[in-house]
């Protein structure tokens, strides 16, 4: 039976909240979501929220309300490690760590619960905002170690699964989804999200590595004549450890030593072809103290002896 005084109805494993915006803030947002709610329209406030709690490990929430902003700010007492998974059937915007993320229907976002954020709920054609929200009593470092503050999930199959899982948790039944082959479970839901984030993170990591690798190569080129050029010198400039520097070059399929040697050989070849310096001077300027070592490395790198570069310079001067 409805509790008319408090505006709360308890159903099988779920709670249904209905009331005004002040009630929504004080009795629902702050104690359960650790957030405030700010309406963004003058229209009368309407809200329906269903909550399902499972073994204190996670909560499922289905929220439908008029447009507004769910604003989460860390209080004086830090919250225990947890993460949030949010998907919407209407357009939303997430503002987190000076980033703005568009959350369209068919997408989800994983959020580190320790981060402050604004979730802007926008109206759709039916003048409503519908959000599915999972609160999980574990931090992202445990469940999703490859993300820091937030990560997008651009998978309609996963968002459908989240809604299906919420239906089961909140109402005890869900729609008939022929596309889902495995019986729904919380562990399976977390696993498919984890696999998705891992697959999408790999190419992004490679792109990031490639850009950083090119930046380091450019810096090495600028410092080739410096006697201080060393792994420690490079790592210090980019504010990373020498270990991370070596690991980056290993992921790019080449060692740091080979890269520095190759860039020195290419610079030496340019000087040889210019014909303006003695060979001994070129060797010393580019860090080759042993002529025999230089000749061996030069031939291995270019497939020909250093004298070919000097011969090319001589022909150029004759012309």
What is the pLDDT at residue 181? 47
> Looking at 140, 163, 184, which one is the last position of a domain?
184
What is the pLDDT at residue 8? 39
Q: Is residue 246 part of a domain?
A: no
Looking at residues 15-42, what average pLDDT do you find?
A: 82
- Name the DSSP letter for residue 5: T
The CATH number that applies at residue 161 is 2.60.120.10
- Name the DSSP letter for residue 26: I
- Same domain for 26 and 171? yes
| Residue-wise pLDDT tens digits, 125-141 | 555 678 888 888 888 87
The average confidence (pLDDT) of the chain is: 78
Q: Is residue 214 part of a domain?
A: no
Q: Is residue 263 part of a domain?
A: yes
Q: Is residue 249 part of a domain?
A: no
- Same domain for 172 and 296? no
- 117 vs 94: CA distance, rounded Å: 7
| Residue-wise pLDDT tens digits, 168-201 | 777 765 454 444 444 456 777 888 888 888 777 6
Q: Over 90: is that where the pLDDT of 118 sits? A: yes
- Same domain for 164 and 16? yes
- Same domain for 180 and 262? no
Domain count for the chain, please give it: 2
- Name the DSSP letter for residue 304: S
- Same domain for 176 and 266? no
- 138 vs 84: CA distance, rounded Å: 9
Looking at residues 9-38, what average pLDDT do you find?
A: 74
Instruction: Identify the three-state secondary structure at position 113.
Output: coil
- 182 vs 105: CA distance, rounded Å: 23
- Same domain for 41 and 156? yes
User: Domain range holding 306?
Assistant: 257-318
**What is the CB neighbour count within 10 angstroms for residue 109?**
22
Alpha helices in the chain (DSSP H): 21-23, 140-143, 156-171, 186-222, 231-237, 242-251, 256-274, 279-285, 291-302, 307-318
Read off the pLDDT band of 232 (50, 70, 90). very high
| Beta strand ranges found along 24-128 (DSSP E) | 36-39, 47-54, 58-65, 68-72, 83-88, 92-96, 99-103, 108-112, 117-121
- Same domain for 22 and 134? yes
- Same domain for 128 and 266? no
Looking at residues 234-250, what average pLDDT do you find?
A: 88
What is the pLDDT at residue 3? 32
Q: Is residue 288 part of a domain?
A: yes
- Same domain for 279 and 147? no
Q: What angle do CA 225, 227, 231 make, to 5 degrees?
A: 100
Looking at residues 192-218, what average pLDDT do you find?
A: 76
- Same domain for 39 and 178? yes
What is the distance, to the nearest Å, from the Cα of residue 53 to the centroid of all Cα atoms in its chain?
Answer: 29
- Same domain for 50 and 170? yes
> Looking at 166, 184, 202, which one is the last position of a domain?
184
Looking at residues 84-106, what average pLDDT do you find?
A: 86
> Looking at 150, 168, 184, which one is the last position of a domain?
184
pTM of the complete model beyond 0.75? no
- Same domain for 262 and 180? no
The CATH number that applies at residue 308 is 1.10.10
Q: Is residue 81 part of a domain?
A: yes
Looking at residues 22-43, what average pLDDT do you find?
A: 86
Q: Is residue 233 part of a domain?
A: no
């Amino acid at each position: 039976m409805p509790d008319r005084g408090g505006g709360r109805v308890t159903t099988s494993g779920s709670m249904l909240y209905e009331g005004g915006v002040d009630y929504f803030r004080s009795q629902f947002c702050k104690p359960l979501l650790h957030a405030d709610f700010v309406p963004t329209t003058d229209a009368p406030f309407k809200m329906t929220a269903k909550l399902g709690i499972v073994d204190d490990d996670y909560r499922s929430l289905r929220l439908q309300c008029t447009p507004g902003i769910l604003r989460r700010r860390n209080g004086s007492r830090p919250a225990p490690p947890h993460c949030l998974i949010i998907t919407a059937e209407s357009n939303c915007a997430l503002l987190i760590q000076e980033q703005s993320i568009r959350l369209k229907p068919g997408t989800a976002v994983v959020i580190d619960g320790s981060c402050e954020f604004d979730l802007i709920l926008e109206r759709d054609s039916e003048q409503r905002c519908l959000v599915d929200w999972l609160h999980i009593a574990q931090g992202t470092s445990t469940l999703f170690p490859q993300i820091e503050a937030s990560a997008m999930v651009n998978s309609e199959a996963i968002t459908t699964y989240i809604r299906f899982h919420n239906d089961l948790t909140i109402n005890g039944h869900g729609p008939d989804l022929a596309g889902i082959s495995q019986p729904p479970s919380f562990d399976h839901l977390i696993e498919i999200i984890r696999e998705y984030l891992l697959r999408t993170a790999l190419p992004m990591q490679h792109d990031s590595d490639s850009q950083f690798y090119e930046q380091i190569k450019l810096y090495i080129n600028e410092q080739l004549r410096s006697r201080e050029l060393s792994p420690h010198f490079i790592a210090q400039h980019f504010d990373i450890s020498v270990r991370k520097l070596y690991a980056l070059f290993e992921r790019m399929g080449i060692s740091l030593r080979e890269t520095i040697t190759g860039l020195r050989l290419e610079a030496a070849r340019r000087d040889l072809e210019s014909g303006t310096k003695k060979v001994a001077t070129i060797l010393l300027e580019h860090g080759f103290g042993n002529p025999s070592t230089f000749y061996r490395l030069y031939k291995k790198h270019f497939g020909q002896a250093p004298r070919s570069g000097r011969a090319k310079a001589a022909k150029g001067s004759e012309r």
